Structure 1
Amino acid sequence: MSESANPRALRQAGVVFAWIVAAFLVALVFLACWVGVRGFLAYQHLSDAQATAGAAREDLSDPALASAAIADVAADTSAARALTSDPLWRVAEALPWAGPQLGAVSTVAAAVDDVAGSALAPLADVASGFDLAALRPQDGRIDLAPFTDIREAAATGASSIGEAADAVDAIDRTPLVRPLRDAVDEVGTLLDETETATGALTRAATLLPAMLGADGPRSYLVLFQNNAEWRSLGGIPGATALVRTDGGAISLAEQASSSDFPRYDESVLPLGPDVEGIFSARPGRFMQNVTQIPDFAVSGALAREMWARERGGEQVDGVIAIDPVALSYLLAATGPVTLPTGDVLTAENAVPLLLNEVYFRYEDPAAQDAFFAAAAASVFSALTAGGTDPAALVDALSRAGDERRLLLWSARDDEQALLADTTLAGPLPQTDDDVARFGVYLNDGTGSKMDYYVTATPTLTWDTCATGGSAASPTASGTATLTVTLTNTAPADAATSLPRYITGGGAFDVAPGVARTVGYVYLPEGFELQDATITGDVGFGGGTHDGRRVLSFAVDVAPGASATATVTVSAPEGSAPQLELVSTPTLVPPPDLVAVCEPA
């Protein structure tokens, strides 16, 4: 009996096992269908959100329209998140191969929903009541209330976007199929850019009211850099002005020339042996040289101290630097400005008039200073009178900041901390995990205004490179070459056809018409110098500045001639795969020099 029962038991066990397998397969098919359908629907919602967001970019100038679009985006991202976060989807995320793909999709859906719902929607609600006309001064005063209203929403949005960006960055790209990996990378880049933009808005909404005197009167020293006589951060501060703010009111209190400041016997502030080893003590002894050190935190502190010494100890709250090229951008917002001389200053003629033609017109430096003072006062009056195009003003200030033509240093540590990671701070070139930054800083050695005729053309390339790291955090190693070509475009007869004030007249042992340039090349932290040459076999000096190797050189270039400095370096293992160049802003927009080590 037991013998005949065994086959029956086995058959029953086989039937049970078959049913279990069938149930499992049915469940698996059901799970696949469930996930597939929900994944397709989620994809549709995310695609709709992307299309709506793309269309909204055209409406950003109208916050009300942008706010409505963000509400639509939030509805789609919320639906996509719900479709990719139910229990069955979570079960499927544990499956081999398919699981990481589904996990990445659900993480991205949750991240973009957090951005749309928790970050952008509240910000859009506040922004819908914001009018760019609020940026336009009325009778010399700016209404500070809109900035205060938007500050909290911007800070909350920046925090939420940062968390979403971190979540996407943490996704392991290794097991993902190529299309999904590319999509995750694209979302990560977009979130990083959005975080940067929202952070900038937060800083602006925090700093502007304070700087404009929301909490009490402020004073700022403005340095007008002259790009016809180069300094590392732009040009010599040939003219200065004191601007006062109080409760949104802005007034021009005083103007002065750099010639009003004496030559100090020693640096007004300690520079440290490393800095003095490269630049000597001159940046701390002459107002004209404070921007020779390519770190505006140092320049601002030096200028503040010099002002205090000549103004009975008055300590300004900060220092601002701007150049005539940035001024030409602002004139696009104000429109033409008529000067007391009868000249009409425009966006097109500001640079040649202020940096060249004035020296043909006025031989006396005092008359030149008076012209510069009149121009600065007239533009200031136009900016504060209320007739400025606010959108054009924002564009002008953004462009000037991006090109490092507008610099700001605050004497208040909390405000300086907000500025520190921006181009407005004018910092030394910063290297991080993603980008290794070189610096090329140019200074006039002629003692004249010959740099109006000098062009600087840099190049930056990887010669050899190998990639490493992971897809999410790539690295590189190899060799790279940086070149800088200086060309003197002055006429062949510059010695006789150009005014002495432009050529220098042979001062500093430089023949009239020749342009002498003193350059400083900053290598990224950790990079090693392999070779350095320059036309004419000129020697290099240098040192170390805040952990960066610095090469210095001086070269003379005759009219019509050129000279090229070439620097080859090696990047250590684990370096950033992207190289960038930070350079002195000259008469033309700085080149966007980027070199990327691409995977083989």
Structure 2
Amino acid sequence: MSHTSRRAAREAAQKQQADREAAEQRAGVAARRARRRKRAGVIWLIVGLVLVVLLAAAVWVGFRALTVKDGLEQSQRLIGELQNGADVKATLEEISGHAESAGAAASDPVWAAFEWIPVAGENLRGVRLAAQSLDVLVNDVGVPVLGGGTDGGALIPKILEVTKAESGRIAQLAEEIGAVQKSTALIGPVRKGVDQVSEVMGMAAPAVEMLPTLLGADGTRNYLLVFQNNAETLALGGSAAAQTLINVDNGKITMGSQGSSASYQNGVAVDVPVEQSAIDLYSSYLVDHINTSMSRPDFPTAAKIMRAWWQRDIAPDEIDAVISIDPLALSRILVATGPIPLVTGDVLSSENATALLLSQVYQRWDSYEHPELVDGFFAAAAGAVFQKVASGQFNLKDMAWALNESAAQGSLLVWSEDDKVTEAIAGHRISGILPTDNNDATTIGVFFNNSNGSKIDYYTQASINADAVCEAGSATFTVNAGLTLPITQEQAEALPRYVQSMTFFTTFRDWIYIYGPPGTAVSNVAVNGERVEVLQQGIDDLGRPTARFEAWFDAGDQVNVTASFTGEGEFGPLAVQTNPMIHPTVPSITDSCG
């Protein structure tokens, strides 16, 4: 073969090889393209499936949300009916199903997964916690406690059992909904619902947590119950007329020893540290006469004094808390218990409790000659009411109203050295502590203190006018306090001796105390009446400037005193706190500071 022929053959072979390689390359590209198309198809299929799943999940959560929404709305409607007087047991049973369905729907695992979505998830979490909280309060607390009705001796043991079991869960939910409440992502309707439920849970959690301890689950508890007499009015209510030791052991409540003013060494001071400002304003009578231990408008002071009296003169009992009630609170409690027969033949009811205990008893017996009869009557009444309440024989809804209303009006006061109890009642009237700042409200205290040992305040009436004026960065708060005795001289002379003034007969004397807002100073005082004078002004007590007046008055008289306080800074809305009196005093307030 010639050189040319060999060359042509090589070139032909090379061309064939190149063609084969090109064909193989084209086949590989096609295969890769096919594989890519296949993978793309799979990916899009997966994406499609994911979208379908997400859409289905969203629809599922939407349906669950409708269930939750319906359950919450129905529950809210029924709770409104319950507050308006609907039957507790029947309404609670109806709420139970709605609350359970809402709680179960919001507890769905798909719902939980969606809570991880930004913004929307915060709203879903808020709705879930609101639904679960309602479910726990209704079905795990309300129904077990009230399942057998609102009456019966098993009520208190039921409360103890349920609160022991559910305190941890309720505390957890309260903490969680309190955290989601801080979220800025909540939309309007969710925000409103979360705020409402969070407020309820914030109150329920500490109460449920404390109740087992308060009911003696962790050991016996002793409570000193003090009965105040508003007919001899003092800043915290009235003279400390009678006392009873209450023993609580694992839900069982029993009544122990009782005491009255005759049981104590009056005139011999108890050993309780009290600020000098209190002695300056109220004299040594604050600590050396038991009836006047309620003179200072600070229940921790009074409670410690009362405990010291009991432990010194009655028995060295360990006292875990001091609780004070008055006949005004008792009359409300009798709404819940119904009328109670007494061994004296009387029937104590919400309609007659105040008159019977604060007026009629003194017409029956002369307390100077037969104090044991009056004390015995008080003891019998206290014992009968106690037995009724301790047995659980009362309407729970009415009892809740009675206690809430009494606490709000200052007729129910509580002091305890237990930090949890102190924290739970802090800032509320039931603590018996005047506010220490002006953040939420600028509170002025006006207190009428009977200083003649009479029981004339069954008849006296008071008036209070307060106003606030702000200008040039300064605020002035002015209070006018009036006191009148709207009976005739003949009626006053016909009153029993024990109702009349111990020393002055039908002439009466009150000390009127006005406590200005924290951060202010007394700028002016004035009096209106022939026998009215300023005794002290400017003494700082309980972190507040004070003005003290003395007013003498007879039947038909009207006396008035005025004090002004000036200060700089930020002041909340003007408010007034005063004695819980037999004839309620509704202050008139004008706040031009806004």
User: Normalising to structure 1: TM-score of the pair?
Assistant: 0.76
After the TM superposition, which residues 378-389 of structure 1 pair with which residues of structure 2 at under 5 Å, given as runs?
A: 378-389=384-395
SS of equivalent residue, structure 1 residue 502? coil
* Alignment partner, residue 40 of structure 2: none
SS of equivalent residue, structure 1 residue 230? coil
* Alignment partner, residue 55 of structure 1: 77
1:126 aligns to 2:140 (yes or no): yes
User: 1:360-389, CA deviations, whole angstroms, 9 ceiling, x for partnerless residues?
Assistant: 110122221111111111222222344322
SS of equivalent residue, structure 1 residue 209? helix
Change over 3 Å in CA distance of 1:465–1:343 after alignment to 2: farther
Please point out which of 512, 516, 540 is paired with 1:519: 512
* Alignment partner, residue 319 of structure 2: 316
After the TM superposition, which residues 452-467 of structure 1 pair with which residues of structure 2 at under 5 Å, given as runs?
A: 452-464=458-470
Q: Say whether the 8 Å CA contact 1:225–1:237 is kept in structure 2.
A: yes
Q: Could you tell me how far apart the structure 2 residues matched to 1:80 and 1:538 are?
A: 71
* Alignment partner, residue 38 of structure 1: none
Q: Say whether the 8 Å CA contact 1:137–1:384 is kept in structure 2.
A: no
* Alignment partner, residue 257 of structure 2: 254
Q: CA deviation at 1:279?
A: 1.9
1:391 aligns to 2:397 (yes or no): yes
The amino acid of 1:538's aligned partner reads E
The amino acid of 1:237's aligned partner reads A
Q: Which moved more, 1:244-253 or 1:484-493?
A: 484-493
SS of equivalent residue, structure 2 residue 550? strand
Please point out which of 113, 116, 128 is paired with 2:127: 113
The amino acid of 2:340's aligned partner reads V
* Alignment partner, residue 580 of structure 1: 575
After the TM superposition, which residues 63-462 of structure 1 pair with which residues of structure 2 at under 5 Å, given as runs?
A: 63-70=92-99, 109=123, 112-113=126-127, 115-117=129-131, 119-127=133-141, 129-132=143-146, 136=151, 138=153, 142-143=157-158, 144-167=160-183, 194-363=197-366, 364-462=370-468
Q: Could you tell me how far apart the structure 2 residues matched to 1:119 and 1:488 are?
A: 52
Q: Which moved more, 1:248-257 or 1:531-540?
A: 531-540
Q: Could you tell me how far apart the structure 2 residues matched to 1:77 and 1:513 are?
A: 71
Change over 3 Å in CA distance of 1:430–1:265 after alignment to 2: same
User: 1:85-104, CA deviations, whole angstroms, 9 ceiling, x for partnerless residues?
Assistant: 977xx7xxxxxxxxxxxxxx
Q: Say whether the 8 Å CA contact 1:120–1:157 is kept in structure 2.
A: no
User: 1:308-347, CA deviations, whole angstroms, 9 ceiling, x for partnerless residues?
Assistant: 1113422222211110111111111121112112111111
Q: CA deviation at 1:119?
A: 4.1
User: 1:130-170, CA deviations, whole angstroms, 9 ceiling, x for partnerless residues?
Assistant: 333687561896331022234223323332343344446x9
Change over 3 Å in CA distance of 1:77–1:523 after alignment to 2: farther
Change over 3 Å in CA distance of 1:274–1:343 after alignment to 2: same
Q: Say whether the 8 Å CA contact 1:429–1:438 is kept in structure 2.
A: no
Q: CA deviation at 1:222?
A: 1.2
SS of equivalent residue, structure 1 residue 427? coil
SS of equivalent residue, structure 1 residue 520? strand
Q: CA deviation at 1:191?
A: 6.1
Change over 3 Å in CA distance of 1:496–1:141 after alignment to 2: same
User: 1:241-261, CA deviations, whole angstroms, 9 ceiling, x for partnerless residues?
Assistant: 111111111111222212211
Q: Say whether the 8 Å CA contact 2:174–2:201 is kept in structure 1.
A: yes
Q: CA deviation at 1:204?
A: 2.5
Q: Say whether the 8 Å CA contact 1:238–1:288 is kept in structure 2.
A: yes
User: 1:477-502, CA deviations, whole angstroms, 9 ceiling, x for partnerless residues?
Assistant: 63333222211123322442111111
Q: How many pairs are equivalent?
A: 515
Q: Say whether the 8 Å CA contact 1:232–1:293 is kept in structure 2.
A: yes
User: 1:431-454, CA deviations, whole angstroms, 9 ceiling, x for partnerless residues?
Assistant: 352222221222111211011111
Q: Could you tell me how far apart the structure 1 residues matched to 2:548 and 2:198 are?
A: 37
Please point out which of 537, 549, 557 is paired with 1:561: 557
User: 1:116-137, CA deviations, whole angstroms, 9 ceiling, x for partnerless residues?
Assistant: 2464444444235333368756
Please point out which of 493, 509, 513 is paired with 1:496: 493
SS of equivalent residue, structure 1 residue 234? coil
Q: Could you tell me how far apart the structure 2 residues matched to 1:251 and 1:84 are?
A: 50
* Alignment partner, residue 532 of structure 1: 525
* Alignment partner, residue 475 of structure 2: 478
Q: Could you tell me how far apart the structure 1 residues matched to 2:121 and 2:567 are?
A: 35
Change over 3 Å in CA distance of 1:139–1:120 after alignment to 2: closer
The percentage of counterpart residues that share the same residue type is: 27
Change over 3 Å in CA distance of 1:269–1:68 after alignment to 2: same
Q: Could you tell me how far apart the structure 2 residues matched to 1:71 and 1:524 are?
A: 48
Q: Could you tell me how far apart the structure 2 residues matched to 1:414 and 1:257 are?
A: 31
Change over 3 Å in CA distance of 1:57–1:544 after alignment to 2: same
Change over 3 Å in CA distance of 1:256–1:266 after alignment to 2: closer
Structure 2 unaligned runs (5+)? Answer: 1-61, 83-87
Q: Say whether the 8 Å CA contact 2:242–2:259 is kept in structure 1.
A: yes
Q: Could you tell me how far apart the structure 1 residues matched to 2:456 and 2:211 are?
A: 37
Change over 3 Å in CA distance of 1:541–1:557 after alignment to 2: same
Q: Say whether the 8 Å CA contact 2:461–2:485 is kept in structure 1.
A: yes
Change over 3 Å in CA distance of 1:429–1:207 after alignment to 2: same
Q: Could you tell me how far apart the structure 2 residues matched to 1:411 and 1:202 are?
A: 20
* Alignment partner, residue 22 of structure 1: none
Q: CA deviation at 1:351?
A: 0.4
Change over 3 Å in CA distance of 1:564–1:127 after alignment to 2: same
The amino acid of 1:142's aligned partner reads P
Change over 3 Å in CA distance of 1:233–1:110 after alignment to 2: farther
Q: Could you tell me how far apart the structure 2 residues matched to 1:161 and 1:414 are?
A: 21
Q: Could you tell me how far apart the structure 1 residues matched to 2:204 and 2:182 are?
A: 20
The amino acid of 2:364's aligned partner reads R
Q: Say whether the 8 Å CA contact 2:447–2:578 is kept in structure 1.
A: yes
Q: Say whether the 8 Å CA contact 1:225–1:234 is kept in structure 2.
A: yes
Q: Say whether the 8 Å CA contact 1:214–1:248 is kept in structure 2.
A: yes
Structure 1 unaligned runs (5+)? Answer: 1-40, 91-105, 172-179, 467-475
Change over 3 Å in CA distance of 1:495–1:518 after alignment to 2: same
Change over 3 Å in CA distance of 1:406–1:137 after alignment to 2: farther
SS of equivalent residue, structure 2 residue 454? coil
Q: Say whether the 8 Å CA contact 2:247–2:255 is kept in structure 1.
A: yes
User: 1:13-52, CA deviations, whole angstroms, 9 ceiling, x for partnerless residues?
Assistant: xxxxxxxxxxxxxxxxxxxxxxxxxxxx9xx989989855
Q: CA deviation at 1:59?
A: 5.2
Change over 3 Å in CA distance of 1:391–1:166 after alignment to 2: same
Q: Could you tell me how far apart the structure 2 residues matched to 1:573 and 1:81 are?
A: 48
The amino acid of 2:161's aligned partner reads A
User: 1:266-309, CA deviations, whole angstroms, 9 ceiling, x for partnerless residues?
Assistant: 34211022222222232221221221121111211111111111
Change over 3 Å in CA distance of 1:192–1:527 after alignment to 2: farther
Q: Could you tell me how far apart the structure 1 residues matched to 2:444 and 2:450 are?
A: 20
Q: Could you tell me how far apart the structure 1 residues matched to 2:357 and 2:432 are?
A: 24
Q: Say whether the 8 Å CA contact 1:494–1:513 is kept in structure 2.
A: no
